[in-house]
Structure 1
Amino acid sequence: MIELVLIGAGTGHPDHLTLQGVRALQEADLVLIPRKGAGKEDLAHLRHAMLARHRPDGAVAHVDLPRRDPSLPYLDGVEAWHDAIAAAWAQAVDLPQGGTVAMLVWGDPSLYDSSLRIAARLDWRPRVIPGITAIQALCAAHAIPLNALGGEVRITTGRQLREGGWPPDCDRAVVMLDGGCAFATLPPEGLEIWWGAYLGMPQERLDHGPLAEAAPRIEATRTAARAAHGWIMDCYLLARSA
């Protein structure tokens, strides 16, 4: 039996690993490092930096991740993509006598991450070590509370925001997995945005202000940063003025 330990690694700062996560790394028989292809080597390098600090001599296996087929309907494409990733994980792990495989997951494995869904396709026993989420890192970077006093917060995606507009009965929303600046599709009147990219990393970028003023700045910053680094991970909090 193989045990898969998914360790929340935060948003890129080596100190985001918890003591529980460090211990799990050190006790694992193998650490699986995913590689997302050309232009995204930073993501593997950051994982290697964490290992160099906390587990310098342990066994490591790399797995080249397949790409999602954009020609398929979204959910069908994701299901097929996850099948392919699960097969790649299984091929990369060589533990014929069983053991523990650890994987560092950006943010926390419970929030908009599919590692648990992919692991369910394998005959492996999952265990989760929670980590710092992008939402926590965003609020910390801007030094703001997530919610208004006694208020609610909606967590959604860029695709949902673009297709459905502002979430109903909601004054605050955190938007993740937005590859196309969905905030720019909203009527900006009365909306405020707190945006962050590469949270916790040396190249961290932040912006805040009324949406009408901040949206063009964020779009320009995002375009330039993605061109410079080859990839970008960002999220933002939107709030409707009282």
Structure 2
Amino acid sequence: MTRRVTLVGIGLGHPDHLTVEAVAALRSASVALVTVKRAGDPLAAARRELLAHHAPDLRVVEVVDPPRDRTALDYESAVGDWHEARAEAWESALIAHPGDAVLLVWGDPAFYDSTIRVVERVLARDNLTFDWDVLPGISALQLLAARHRIVLHEVGQPIHVTTERRLREALEQGQDNVVVFLTSGTDLSGLDDWHVWWGANLGSPSERLVSGAVKDVAAEITAERAAAKAEAGWVMDLFLLRQL
């Protein structure tokens, strides 16, 4: 029988964020691979807690996540090198731990996550053969809208989804309803006439939410982001910007 590897979207780490399909995948697997960025990684600990809740007998293997060069001038090349290093690490873990495996993906595998690309690289190395599936999870984008009790777009209007690094480019293109991922501090300068719905560490005990006119809440967002990071030891935030 061909080995199976399943990428499982786990939402934002809360046990209730998993689908029934995802829970079944965890309980049928032989091993779960959990990436660890550093000793005492709180996100790895959250994954372990989730597994203990849904599949307490599942063997858990930690895979050290290679660092990414964040100083490189060529962003795309640096990310490609990082993906290749991750593929090598995951390949080694899969070879060392046989049986059907699950890879836990924060949020949903389709949104600003490299797991699918890394698994494709593992297969391209031709040292392993396996079937693989992707199971969706609740994304931060969905939870942001739910927490603020909003629709992400006006009636019949589009949503532009981008990263903070490319936010100004999107605004110059005339986008006026923008969801922003991969933030590093939430720079809202020059956007006083916009409305923002912001959230950090969604679904966790350190969750923070702020909404309002940018000119009124920008300082509050900065303070709440710092507070979330101080409380949890990490921060992941995103926001919706809309020109009103």
TM-score (norm 2): 0.90
In 2, the alpha carbon distance for the partners of 1:212 and 1:166 equals 17
Q: State the partner residue of 2:159.
A: 153
Aligned runs of 1:73-84 on 2, under 5 Å? Answer: 73-84=74-85
In 2, the alpha carbon distance for the partners of 1:167 and 1:224 equals 32
CA deviation profile, 1:67-101 (whole Å, cap 9, x unmatched):
101232211111111111111112222457x5321
Letter of the 1:223 partner, please give it.
A
In 1, the alpha carbon distance for the partners of 2:205 and 2:232 equals 12
The alpha-carbon deviation at position 13 of structure 1 amounts to 1.4
CA deviation profile, 1:169-207 (whole Å, cap 9, x unmatched):
43211000011313x23x223200000011011111000
Q: State the partner residue of 1:122.
A: 122
Q: Structure 1 residue runs of 4+, over 6 Å off?
A: none
Q: State the partner residue of 1:61.
A: 61
Q: State the partner residue of 2:36.
A: 35
Q: State the partner residue of 1:52.
A: 52
The alpha-carbon deviation at position 35 of structure 1 amounts to 0.8
Equivalent position SS for 2:71: coil
Aligned runs of 1:196-215 on 2, under 5 Å? Answer: 196-215=199-218
Q: State the partner residue of 1:172.
A: 177
In 1, the alpha carbon distance for the partners of 2:133 and 2:172 equals 33
Contact 2:13–2:50 under 8 Å retained in 1: no
Letter of the 2:213 partner, please give it.
P
Contact 1:157–1:177 under 8 Å retained in 2: yes
In 1, the alpha carbon distance for the partners of 2:46 and 2:172 equals 35
TM-score (norm 1): 0.91
In 2, the alpha carbon distance for the partners of 1:116 and 1:207 equals 32
Q: State the partner residue of 2:127.
A: none
- Aligned-pair identity in percent equals 42
In 1, the alpha carbon distance for the partners of 2:229 and 2:51 equals 26
Q: State the partner residue of 1:230.
A: 233
In 2, the alpha carbon distance for the partners of 1:171 and 1:93 equals 44
The alpha-carbon deviation at position 18 of structure 1 amounts to 0.3
In 2, the alpha carbon distance for the partners of 1:68 and 1:2 equals 30
Q: State the partner residue of 2:195.
A: 192
Are residues 225 and 38 of structure 1, via their aligned partners in 2, closer, same or farther at CA, if it must alter by over 3 Å?
farther
Contact 1:28–1:100 under 8 Å retained in 2: yes
Contact 1:152–1:170 under 8 Å retained in 2: no
Q: State the partner residue of 1:136.
A: 142
Contact 1:68–1:77 under 8 Å retained in 2: yes
Aligned runs of 1:84-95 on 2, under 5 Å? Answer: 84-94=85-95
CA deviation profile, 1:124-183 (whole Å, cap 9, x unmatched):
433100111111000111111111111111000000014x2515243211000011313x
CA RMSD of aligned residues (A): 1.7
